[in-house]
Amino acid sequence: MNSIIKRIAGHFLIKGDVVDVDSHFNGLVNKTFLVRTQDANGYYDYIIQKINTYVFPNPHRLMENIVHVTRHIASKEEHNQTLHVIMSSEGKTLVEDASGCYRCYHYLENAHNYQQLQDLRQFKEVGRAIGIFQNHLQDFPVKLLYEVIPDFHNTPKRIKALKKAAKVGIKERIKETKNEIQNFLDKKSFLSRVQTALDQKEIPLRVTHNDTKLNNVMFDQLTNRALCLIDLDTVMPGSVLFDFGDALRVGASTKPEDDKEFKHIAFDITRFIAFSAGYLLQANEWLSDKEGDMLSESVYIITMECGMRFLTDYLLGDKYFLTRYPKHNLVRAKNQLSLANDIWQKLTVMQKIVKSLRTRFEEIVITKLGRDKENCNL
């Protein structure tokens, strides 16, 4: 593989000659390589990725999205950090041959990402990074973006897909999950609220990232401040509510999304405060009143949506999500249901927090965060 990458690297407009290829990265979708080159002036690092064209059947349109968005962000501030796409010597964003389809990025110097949340300050930084990303793209013409995965967060369509899977799926699995299926469907009308608000133009279509997990935020190695978001493959038009909600679904749960101790899964309100404070410091200014009002419920909706996706996949025979054992998707679905139930109980508190952060956020961030940071063991 390394000799292939060496050859592919030669087609991109990079400095020097390849001296090393490191392939020890653990992404589940694309394959990532760190390529080091050298010329008379020194060493240079680049990232080359082989795009998974099964998941992303139109890599050219996907790359157009990424080029649009990264150029727009880079134009915003002199010291702005973002991924930079490196073109091929033929002026293209991709190099293709019989072995696959490749893209190349500058390596982000002195930056790293985390798999596990370290502390509250870090989660506040995640909120800040998502807010900044959305900030920079406020004036980007969202209609220019290609819908990489159509209806990705169209919750009513996800409900329909679950209903269908509950008819045509694997018989024993349908029987086994009767209660879970019903628990999701019982909340049908509440779960449709974001999509309905989008359809009725009560909230705007904006540029969204769609994978706002902790490990997609790059941090400065020295200061530990967030630098930028990576993994831009699913940047699409959508509602910013889902980027807010999805980051919290993962980051504020007390257990990983496939943990089996369902009774111990809880939504950590302290983390919710930290994240919301970081996010709202950036986004408060341009978020509409309606979006602000819906922030908390979006955490519940995206958690239920994700649970429905896991359950649908379970009923249909685990075709979409990678599973490590036969009931993996069912465990994930039950886990998300438990988390969603806890979020549901805390919704009124969350709404109050958002409201007070929105009106007096600067003052609250300083006092509340300082106090909670000391009390919280992450």
How many whole angstroms separate alpha carbon 231 and alpha carbon 208?
Answer: 12
Phi/psi of residue 88, nearest 5 degrees: -85, 170
- The nearer residue to Mg ion, 10 or 27, going by C-beta atoms, is 27
Minimum Å distance from CB 356 to Mg ion? Answer: 33
The first and second tokens of residue 327, run together, are 């009931």
Residues 314-373 interacting with ligand GN1 (rule: CB under 6 A): none
How many whole angstroms separate alpha carbon 317 and alpha carbon 320?
Answer: 9
How many whole angstroms separate alpha carbon 18 and alpha carbon 39?
Answer: 9
Q: Are 106 and 86 in contact (CB under 8 A)?
A: yes
Q: Is 30 in the site for ligand GN1 (CB under 6 A)?
A: no
Residues in the chain: 378
What SS3 state is found at 264? helix
Q: Which residues bind Mg ion (CB under 5 A)?
A: 211, 231
- The nearer residue to ligand GN1, 56 or 102, going by C-beta atoms, is 56
Q: Is 28 in the site for ligand GN1 (CB under 6 A)?
A: yes
Q: Is 253 in the site for ligand GN1 (CB under 6 A)?
A: no
Minimum Å distance from CB 210 to ligand GN1? Answer: 7
Print the binding letters for residues 282-321 with ligand GN1: x by CB under 6 A, - otherwise.
------------------------x---------------
Q: What angle do CA 59, 64, 66 make, to 5 degrees?
A: 90
Among 30, 70, 234, 276, binds ligand GN1 (CB under 6 A): 234
Interhelix angle 120-136/269-283, nearest 10 degrees: 30
Residues 6 or more apart from 124 whose CB is under 8 A from it? 274, 275, 277, 278, 365, 369
Q: Give the H or E element holding residue 48.
A: strand 42-50
Residues 6 or more apart from 79 whose CB is under 8 A from it? none
Minimum Å distance from CB 302 to ligand GN1? Answer: 8
Q: Give the H or E element holding residue 208.
A: strand 206-208
Q: Is 273 in the site for ligand GN1 (CB under 6 A)?
A: no
Q: Is 116 in the site for ligand GN1 (CB under 6 A)?
A: no
Minimum Å distance from CB 58 to ligand GN1? Answer: 14
Minimum Å distance from CB 195 to ligand GN1? Answer: 16
- The nearer residue to ligand GN1, 242 or 361, going by C-beta atoms, is 242
Q: Is 243 in the site for ligand GN1 (CB under 6 A)?
A: no
Among 180, 211, 268, 291, binds ligand GN1 (CB under 6 A): 211
Q: Which does 306 bind (CB under 5 to 8 A by kind): ligand GN1, Mg ion, none?
A: ligand GN1
Query: Which residues are near ligand GN1 by CB under 6 A?
Result: 28-29, 211, 234, 257, 306
